[in-house]
Amino acid sequence: MKIKKTASYKGITTKTLKNGDTAVMVRFKYLSTTYPVKNFTKLFGCEDEQQAHEKLKEVKVLISNGIDPFLNTPYTLNEIWYERLKKNEKSGKWKKITIDNYSYYYEAHIKKVIGHKKLSKITYNDLDKILENMSGKQGGTKNTLKKLLFPIFDEAKKRGDIQKNITELLPSHKIGNDKNIELRTAESALSIVRQLYKAIPEYKVHCKAQEEELKMFLYMVVMTAHRIGEILQLKKEDVILEENKIISPPEITKTKEAYHFPIPKECLEYIENIDSGLLFPTIKRGSLYAIFQRLLKLTDIRFYRGKTISMHDMRRLMLNIMIMNCKIDGMLADACLSHKQKGVLKHYLHFSYKDIKNSYKKYWKRIKY
C-alpha cells in the first residue's frame, strides 16, 4: 500500500490500494477520544482530501450530538437501497405492491450494473448502460430509473457525500409510444385475445404443482383484464361465491375504491377449492413477463421486429373488443376496467354490477367463438 503524503489537512492522507483504487484515510482526535484510521472514501464516498476535511467537520458535529457517525454507514448503492426499502416498508410509506414492484425493478435492471458501486463512483455512462439494456422497454419503464435513484442521490448530495446528482441528467422518455397495438402486429385485437384464450389449456410448466395456478391466473388476466398487481393481491375473502363475483377492496386498487367483477367460469372450481389467503400465492411479480411471453409462443401471433405485447396490454385489447366487436358503450366498457369517470360524469354516472356483468358475458362469448 503506497501512501501519498500531503500536508494540506492534518490527519488526512490519500492511499493507493493494491487494486489501484485510491482511498482517503482520516485519523483524528476529538473530545479527548482518539479515533482509529477511517476510510472516508469507503464510508462516505469522499474522492479527495478536501471533501474528507469537510466531511470530518460534519462527523464531529454528529459526535457532539451523541451520534455515532460510523455505525453501519452504508456506502454502496445496494446497501443504501436495501436500507431505504426496509425503512419505507417499516414506516408504511410504501405499500407491499409498491415494494414488490420497486424490488423487482431494482433487481432486474439496476443491481447487476451499479449495485456494488459507491454513489461517488457511479457515472452517467453507468446509467446510460442501464437504459441501453432497456432499449426494448416502454418509456414509463425507462423513467422509473430516475424515479428510484433521484432521491437517493439527492439526499447524498445534501449530506455532502457527493458533489452532484447525476440522475438529473437522465432524459424523460415519452410514455405510451407503443400504445397502438397495430404498430406491433397486423393481428386484430379479437384475433390476439382469441388465440391467447385458446392457448391457455396448452400452457405447461416444469413444476406441475404450479401449473393449475398459472393457468387460472392467465384466465383471469385474459378474461378480466384487471391490473396485474391487483389480481396478485386478491384473497379468498374477496370472493362472493354465491354470486360468482369478486369485490376488490380499496386498499389494493389503483383508484382507492372497491369495485366488483364476475369470475370467469374457467376459474370457479379452482377458487372454490382455496380455503383462505391469496388466490395466486406462488406467482411472483418478477416472473410475469416470462410467463406471458411463453403463452404468446403457443399462439400464431406474429409481431413486427422487436415488438411484443404485455399483460397490461390486455386492458386496451379488451376495451377495443368490447367497443368495436361487442358494440358496448365506451364509458361502460371503460367502467369494466375500473377506470374513474372524468369531469362532472364522475358525480352523476354510475353503472350497476348487472351492466358490468352483462358486458363481460358479451366479451367472453366473443373471444371464445
CATH number at residue 82: 1.10.150
- Which residue, 149, 128, 155, 126, is CA-closest to 45? 155
* Same domain membership, residue 334 and residue 259: yes
Q: Specify if 262 maps to a domain.
A: yes
**Which of left, alpha, beta for 233 (phi over 0: left; psi -120 to 50: alpha)?**
alpha
Q: C-alpha distances in angstroms, 307 versus 135, 178, 182, 184, 293?
A: 11, 9, 11, 5, 12
User: Which is higher by pLDDT, 240 or 175?
Assistant: 240
- Domain endpoint, select from 64, 95, 117: 64
Q: Are residues 31 and 124 in the same domain?
A: no
pLDDT value for 118:
87
Whole-model pTM: value is: 0.63
Mean pLDDT of 290-306: 93
In this prediction, residue 158 carries a pLDDT of: 83
Instruction: For residue 80, give the 3-state DSSP assignment.
Output: helix
One domain, residues 244 and 329: yes
Chain-wide mean pLDDT for the chain? 88
State the pLDDT confidence band at 81, using cuts at 50, 70 and 90. Answer: very high
- Residue 303's nearest CA partner among 139, 140, 191 is 191
172 pLDDT above the threshold of 70:
yes
Count how many domains the chain has.
3
Residue 176 domain flag: no
- pLDDT for 168 beyond 60: yes
On whether both 257 and 356 belong to a single domain, the answer is yes
d(Cα 65, Cα 158) in Å, to the nearest integer? 19
Digit-coded pLDDT (tens) for 174-215: 765 456 898 899 999 999 999 999 999 999 988 888 999 999
Q: Does 174 fall in a domain?
A: no
- Domain identity same for 255 and 152: no
Higher pLDDT, 100 or 7: 100
pLDDT band at 342 (very low <50, low <70, confident <90, very high): low
Are 224 and 331 found together in one domain? Answer: yes
Whether 310 is covered by a domain: the verdict is yes
Residue 59 has pLDDT above 70, yes or no: yes
For residue 119 the three cell numbers come to 454513489
At 100 the pLDDT is 85
- What pLDDT shows up at residue 269? 96
pLDDT band at residue 74, thresholds of 50, 70 and 90?
low
Is 132 within the bounds of a domain?
Answer: yes
Q: Check whether residue 153 and residue 204 sit in a common domain.
A: no
Do 90 and 56 fall into the same domain? no
Percent of the chain scoring above 90 in pLDDT: 58
Which CATH number does the domain housing residue 267 bear? 1.10.443.10
- State mean pLDDT over 293-313: 92
Look at residue 175 and tell me if it is in a domain: no
Span 319-329, average pLDDT: 96
Same domain, 361 and 222: yes
Residue ranges making up the domain that contains 357 = 181-368
Mean pLDDT confidence for 74-79: 82
Q: Per DSSP, which regions of 43-179 are E strands?
A: none
Are residues 153 and 19 part of one domain?
Answer: no
User: Is 195 in the same domain as 279?
Assistant: yes
**Residue 72 placed within a domain:** no
Highest mean pLDDT of the ranges 62-66, 67-71, 233-237: 233-237
Q: Is residue 337 part of a domain?
A: yes
